[in-house]
């Protein structure tokens, strides 16, 4: 029980710092450094050792970590858990200041598919990275920063001025989602107000900042809710709950054979079609680099892709008590009754009969429950990482995830037991010796 409490408390601490994809990777790096993992560089040759622990961040918003078995010869395949680091929200545009009678708001654009009305009246903050002038023209200095305090808010319009608000009103991002930053006093200048704040936070001169990649995030912390504290309410559960679970499983397990890997990719919420996304050759390139790096140390490192297995871990739609008709009539996962295996006949999920059965046996080995999710036949769902990863690396893949409610809200909801079970299932996966 104490270990369960520790995981929940640690998860909330992780989420406080994992505010955007970039900050999430920074937070994971700190954890892996503390656990003795060695950082690799894609531009240098790799010499990998048996029992070695490694990670790399080819791009700031994605990370791959892996451990190598202790046996003299590695005859097993690669076991991979994949998840994504990004969440729906808003990105701040260039020259963002908008002044209305001294009330300074910021011009933003939507990222992914957030539930817009959940962003009103929340404490919000800013995080991301900036590019600063350097001596190398093609290599500006990049600084990561996070204000870590609620400096923004998007106030609702009072119901007296918007009488139809409870009947459903379309929300326009350009007009209605501009977050309020500050109220100017008479001698303050509105131009570059945010730039000055960023320069002060980063400790650089304003004129040296060339560009900014900054995102708005909900600064509320996670908490347990429910009469028995059986649910977790937290921003960015999709998909950082699975990122955390996979990270914990990797650092908390050891194997004699093969390679255990986590692949945390970016931009899933906008289709993954970036160099740091799942719809790229990056993961297959990294797998080849691992094969080359183990030559001489483990001559039988499995080049055969067919020996490998991928768990694609992303949130699943749980049964909503007020909208039961939205789920499939026979396959409707309920929170706290087991992790969900995601299945789709049109292959929007990569799960196939043998990988579904394999995951069921994995859950049986862990002594934990599982459920199955299929979309309502008249409401097709979205895609996730599994089909894209298998497009470039033809491995066995199963798509799974914790059943959730309020997916893409500023605060999402999942079952506490499902979250804890996912850590144990992933650890069992990494420790399989067959």
Whether the per-residue pLDDT at 86 is higher than 90: the answer is yes
Q: Cα–Cα distance between 92 and 233 in angstroms, integer? A: 26
Over the stretch 7-28, which tens digit does the pLDDT of each residue have? 999 999 999 999 999 999 999 9
Q: Cα–Cα distance between 268 and 110 in angstroms, integer? A: 14
pLDDT for the residue numbered 3: 60
Q: Cα–Cα distance between 424 and 434 in angstroms, integer? A: 18
- In the chain, which segments carry CATH 2.30.250.10? 89-218
Q: How many residues belong to the chain? A: 434
Q: Cα–Cα distance between 356 and 343 in angstroms, integer? A: 8
Mean pLDDT of 367-390: 91
Q: Cα–Cα distance between 51 and 73 in angstroms, integer? A: 12
Dihedral sign (CA 366, 349, 357, 312) = negative
Q: Enter the tokens of residue 29.
A: 């790096």
Among residues of the chain, what percentage have pLDDT more than 70?
95
Mean pLDDT of 394-416: 97
Q: Cα–Cα distance between 305 and 183 in angstroms, integer? A: 58
The strand ranges marked E within 62-187 are: 63-68, 78-84, 89-100, 103-111, 124-132, 141-146, 180-183
Whether the per-residue pLDDT at 87 is higher than 80: the answer is yes
Scan for tokens 């912390």, then name that residue: 221
Q: How far is CA 369 from CA 76, 81, 187, 343, 365, in A?
A: 27, 19, 63, 17, 10
Q: What is the mean pLDDT of the chain?
A: 93
Over the stretch 92-124, which tens digit does the pLDDT of each residue have? 999 999 999 899 999 999 999 999 999 999 999
Among residues of the chain, what percentage have pLDDT more than 90?
82
| Residues 312/386, Cβ–Cβ less than 8 Å | yes
Scan for tokens 């990275």, then name that residue: 129
Over the stretch 137-163, which tens digit does the pLDDT of each residue have? 999 999 999 999 999 999 999 999 999
Mean pLDDT of 275-282: 94
Whether the per-residue pLDDT at 380 is higher than 80: the answer is no
CB-neighbour burial class of residue 370 (10 A; exposed 0-12, middle 13-18, buried 19+): buried
User: Bridge partners of 269?
Assistant: none
Mean pLDDT of 375-403: 90
Q: Enter the tokens of residue 182.
A: 């500050």
Topology of the domain comprising 89-218: Aminopeptidase i, Domain 2 (2.30.250)
pLDDT for the residue numbered 75: 73
Over the stretch 291-341, which tens digit does the pLDDT of each residue have? 888 765 544 555 556 689 999 999 999 999 999 999 999 999 999 999 999
Question: What is the DSSP track for 310-336?
Answer: EEEE--EEPPPTT-GGGS-SS----TT
pLDDT for the residue numbered 298: 47
| Residues 402/317, Cβ–Cβ less than 8 Å | no
What pTM value is reported for the model? 0.96
| Residues 144/26, Cβ–Cβ less than 8 Å | yes
Over the stretch 207-216, which tens digit does the pLDDT of each residue have? 999 999 999 9
Q: Enter the tokens of residue 45.
A: 């040759």
Q: What share of the chain is helix, strand, coil (3-state, %, to 5)?
A: 30, 25, 45
Over the stretch 196-255, which tens digit does the pLDDT of each residue have? 999 999 999 999 999 999 999 999 999 999 999 999 999 999 999 999 999 999 999 988
Residue 398: its H or E element: strand 396-401
271: region left, alpha or beta (phi > 0 left; psi from -120 to 50 alpha): left
- In the chain, which segments carry CATH 3.40.630.10? 2-87+235-430
Whether the per-residue pLDDT at 388 is higher than 60: the answer is yes
Q: 2-87+235-430: CATH homologous superfamily?
A: Zn peptidases (3.40.630.10)
């Amino acid at each position: 029980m104490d270990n369960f409490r520790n995981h929940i408390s640690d998860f909330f601490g992780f989420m406080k710092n994992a505010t955007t994809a970039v900050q999430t990777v920074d937070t994971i790096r700190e954890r892996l450094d503390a656990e003795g993992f060695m950082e690799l560089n894609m531009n240098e040759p790799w010499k990998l050792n048996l029992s070695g622990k490694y990670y790399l961040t080819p791009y700031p918003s994605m990370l791959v970590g892996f451990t190598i078995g202790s046996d003299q010869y590695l005859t097993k395949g690669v076991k991979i858990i994949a998840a994504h680091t990004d969440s729906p929200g808003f990105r701040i545009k260039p020259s963002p200041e908008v002044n209305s009678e001294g009330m300074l708001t910021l011009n933003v654009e939507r990222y992914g598919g957030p539930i817009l009305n959940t962003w009103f009246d929340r404490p919000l903050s800013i995080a991301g990275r900036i590019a600063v002038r350097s001596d190398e023209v093609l290599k500006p200095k990049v600084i990561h920063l996070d204000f870590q305090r609620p400096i923004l808010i998007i106030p609702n319009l009072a119901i007296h001025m918007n009488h139809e608000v409870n009947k459903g009103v379309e929300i326009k991002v350009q007009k209605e989602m501009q977050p309020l930053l500050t109220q100017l006093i008479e001698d303050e200048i509105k131009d570059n107000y945010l730039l000055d704040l960023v320069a002060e936070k980063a400790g650089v001169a304003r004129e040296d900042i060339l560009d900014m990649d900054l995102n708005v995030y909900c600064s509320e912390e996670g908490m347990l809710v429910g009469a028995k504290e059986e649910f977790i309410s937290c921003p960015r559960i999709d998909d950082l709950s699975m990122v955390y679970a996979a990270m914990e499983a990797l650092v908390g397990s050891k194997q004699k054979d093969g390679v255990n890997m986590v692949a945390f990719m970016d931009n899933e919420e906008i289709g993954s079609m970036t160099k740091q996304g799942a719809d790229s050759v990056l993961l297959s390139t990294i797998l080849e680099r691992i094969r080359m790096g183990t030559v001489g140390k483990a001559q039988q490192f499995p080049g055969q892709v067919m020996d490998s297995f991928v768990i694609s871990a992303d949130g699943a739609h749980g049964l909503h008590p007020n909208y039961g008709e939205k789920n499939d009539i026979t396959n409707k996962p309920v929170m706290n009754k087991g992790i969900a295996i995601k299945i789709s006949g049109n292959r929007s999920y990569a799960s196939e009969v043998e990988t579904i059965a394999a995951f069921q046996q994995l859950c049986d080995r862990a002594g934990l429950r599982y459920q199955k999710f299929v979309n309502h036949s008249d409401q097709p769902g979205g895609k996730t990482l599994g089909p894209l990863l298998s497009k470039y690396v033809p491995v066995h893949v199963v798509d799974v995830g914790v059943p959730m409610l309020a997916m893409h809200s500023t605060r999402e909801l999942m079952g506490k037991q499902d979250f804890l079970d996912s850590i144990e299932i992933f650890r069992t996966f990494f420790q399989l010796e067959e």
